[in-house]
Amino acid sequence: MASASKDPATDLSNPESLATDLAKDGRAKMIPPREMPSPTAASGSVRVEIFDQVYNLRGSDADYIVKLAEYVDGKMRAVSEQTATVDSVRLAVLAALNIADEYHLLKRRLEPPSPEARERASKLASALDEVLEDTRRTG
């Protein structure tokens, strides 16, 4: 198991501190839950390992922090298997781009359609209703 990090815990309520902390080495691996110390009430920090680099992170939900770190670690390991680079910063950037791509694809799916798309859908629905009504009458 890796030795404890001397860096103070990163507060996950501040995204900039998390991004800076993860970019220091850019490597990631989770410490298995059985080895991970429980967060203390005073500090609320949890120790994780991302691509073989230890981070002490703070936040209100330790389980959520662990899941995030596991996800980032998995992305970095997937990128490292697909590329020849050993530069951990480069791997971190490529993993971040993959995560950003996933985020934006999901965000696009959840966004309401544009007013033009809604208007076109309404016109198509009306046209379909007319055709179906004519078909029922002539039946």
pLDDT of the residue at 79: 96
Where is pLDDT greater, at 60 or 43? 60
Contacts 24+ apart (CB under 8 A), 21-26: 21/55, 21/57, 22/50, 22/55, 22/72, 22/92, 23/89, 23/92, 24/53, 25/51, 25/53, 25/88, 25/89, 26/51, 26/53, 26/76, 26/88, 26/89, 26/90, 26/91, 26/92, 26/93
Mean pLDDT is lowest, of 13-17, 56-60, 103-107, for 13-17
pLDDT given at position 96:
97
> If you ran DSSP here, which 8-state letter would residue 36 be given?
S
The pLDDT, as a whole number, for residue 60 is 93
**Would you give the DSSP letter of residue 111?**
S
Predicted local confidence at residue 136, as pLDDT: 85
